[in-house]
Structure 1
Amino acid sequence: MSELLQAVINGASPEELLATELPESFRAAHTLRDEVGIFEGETDKDVRRSMHVGEVAMPEIAPDECIVAVMSAAINFNTVWSAIFEPVPTFAFLKKFGMQGWYGARHDLPYHILGSDGAGVIVRTGVGVKNWKVGDKVVISPAYVDEEDHASYDDGMMTESQLAWGFETNFGSLGEFCVVKANQLIKKPAHLTWEESASNTLCAATAYRMLVGTHGARMKQGDVVLVWGGTGGLGSYATQLVKNGGGIPVAVVGSEDKADLVRRQGVEHVINRSELGLGAEGFRNRKAGRILGEAIRAQVGEDPQIVFEYLGAETFGASVYVAKRGGKIVTCGSSTGYQHQYDNRFLWMRLKSIVGSHGFNYHEAVETNRLISLGMIHPTLSKVFDLDGAGEATRAVQTNQHVGKVAVLCAAPEEGLGVDDPALREKIGEDRLNLYRS
Structure 2
Amino acid sequence: MTDLIDAVLSGATGGELDSLHLPDTYRAAYLRREDDDMFGDDPEPDVRRSLRVGPVPMPEPAPDEVVVAVMASAINFNTVWSALFQPMSTFRFLERFGRQDRWAARHDRDHQVVGSDASGIVVRAGAGVRRWSPGDRVVVSPAYIDTDDPRASQDGMVADQKAWGFETNFGGLADFTVVKASQLLPKPRHLTWEESAANTLCAMTAYRMLVGPHGARMKQGDVVLIWGAAGGLGAYAVQMVRNGGGIPVGVVSSEQKAELLRRLGCEVVLDRRDFAGGPDGWSDPRARKGMGREIRRRTGEDPHIVFEHSGRETFDASVFLARTGGTVVTCGSSSGYRHTYDNRYLWMNLKRVVGSHGANHAEAAEVTRLFDLGMLVPALSAVYPLEEVGGATRAVQRGEHTGKVAVRCLAPREGLGVDDPDARLRVGEDRLSLFRKF
Q: TM-score surpassing 0.5? A: yes
2:170 aligned with 1:171: yes
In 2, distance between residues paired with 1:133 and 1:371?
A: 24
Look up the match of 1:183.
Answer: 182
For 1:408 and 1:73, how far apart are their aligned partners in 2?
5
Specify the alignment match of 1:86 in structure 2.
86
CA contact under 8 A between 2:67 and 2:123: conserved in structure 1? yes
CA contact (8 A) 1:227 1:250 kept: yes
Match of 1:364 in 2: 363
Question: Could you report, residue by residue, the CA deviation over 1:75-131 in whole angstroms, capped at 9, with x for unpaired residues?
Answer: 000000110111111111111111122101111111000000000000000000001
Alignment match, 2:432: 433
Distance 1:262 1:377 in 2: 14
- Map of 1:146 onto structure 2: 146
Aligned to 2:279: 280
2:88 is equivalent to residue 114 of structure 1: no
Flag structure 2 segments of 5+ consecutive residues without an equivalent.
Answer: none
Q: How does 1:22-421 map to 2 (within 5 A)?
A: 22-159=22-159, 161-276=160-275, 278-421=277-420
Output the amino acid matched with 1:396. A
Alpha-carbon offset, residue 3 of structure 1? 1.5
- Determine the C-alpha separation between the residues in 2 that align with 1:373 and 1:146: 28
Secondary structure of the residue aligned to 2:394 is helix
Q: Indicate the SS of the match to 2:285.
A: coil
Q: Structure 2: how far apart are the matches of 1:214 and 1:296? A: 27
Count of paired positions: 437
CA distance in 2, matches of 1:210, 1:19: 42
Q: Quick check: 337-346 or 299-308, which moved more?
A: 337-346
Write the deviation string for residues 336-395 of structure 1: whole angstroms up to 9, x where unpaired. Answer: 111212111211121111111111111111111110111000100001000101111111
Q: Which amino acid aligns with 1:198?
A: A
Shift of 1:196: 0.3
| Contact in 1 for aligned 2:320/2:345 (Cα 8 Å) | yes
Please tell me the residue identity of whatever aligns with 2:30. Answer: H
Mapped to 2, the partners of 1:391 and 1:369 lie a distance apart of 28
**SS of the counterpart of 2:27?**
strand
Output the CA distance in 2 between the equivalents of 1:420 and 1:383: 22
- Cα deviation, residue 296, structure 1: 0.5
Deviation at 1:424, TM superposition (A): 1.0
Q: Deviations over 1:235-285 (max 9, x none)?
A: 000000000111000000001111001001011000011122641222121
Contact 1:25/1:55 (8 A) holds in 2? yes
Structure 1, residues 147-203: CA drift from partner, whole Å, max 9, x if none?
A: 1100111001111x2110000110000100000000000000000000000000100
What letter matches 2:93 in structure 1? F
Distance 1:32 1:277 in 2: 39
Q: CA deviation at 1:223?
A: 0.4
3-state secondary structure, aligned to 2:235: helix
Alpha carbons of structure 1 residues 291 and 122: separation in structure 2 relative to 1, 3 Å: same
Structure 2 counterpart of 1:355, one-letter code = V
The whole-number CA distance in structure 1 between the counterparts of 2:151 and 2:48 is: 39
- Could you tell me which amino acid in structure 1 is paired with residue 85 of structure 2? F
- The one-letter code sitting in structure 1 at the alignment partner of 2:43 is T
2: CA distance, partners of 1:129 / 1:208:
27
Of 335-344 and 128-137, the range deviating more from structure 2: 335-344
- Looking at structure 2, the residues matched to 137 and 394 of structure 1 have their Cα atoms a distance apart, in angstroms, of 26
Matches of 1:195 and 1:384, distance apart in 2: 7
Could you say what secondary structure the match of 2:48 adopts?
coil
Residue segments in structure 1 that go unaligned for 5+ positions in a row: none
The question of whether the paired residues in 1 share the 8 Å contact of 2:275 and 2:288 is answered with: no
Question: Aligned letter for 1:204?
Answer: A
> SS of 2:232's equivalent?
coil
Task: For 1:3 and 1:411, locate their aligned partners in 2 and report how far apart those are by CA, in whole Å.
Answer: 13
In angstroms, what is the RMSD of aligned CA positions? 0.9
CA–CA separation in structure 1 for the residues paired with 2:15 and 2:143: 30
The whole-number CA distance in structure 1 between the counterparts of 2:373 and 2:10 is 27
1:289, CA displacement in angstroms? 2.0
* Secondary structure of residue in 2 paired with 1:55: strand
1:102 aligned partner, one-letter code: R
Letter in 1 for 2:214: H
- Aligned-partner Cα distance in 2 for 1:377–1:228: 19
Deviation of residue 21 (structure 1)?
Answer: 2.2
Q: Secondary structure at the match of 1:287?
A: helix
- Cα distance in 1 for partners of 2:236, 2:382 equals 16
Which one is further off, 13-22 or 246-255? 13-22
Normalized against structure 2, the TM-score is what? Answer: 0.99
Displacement of 1:224 in angstroms is 0.5
Give the secondary-structure state (helix, strand or coil) at the position aligned to 1:5: helix
Task: Answer yes or no: is the 8 Å Cα contact 1:292–1:318 preserved in 2.
Answer: no
Cα-to-partner distance string for 1:11-34 (whole Å, 9 max, x where unaligned): 111111112222111100000001
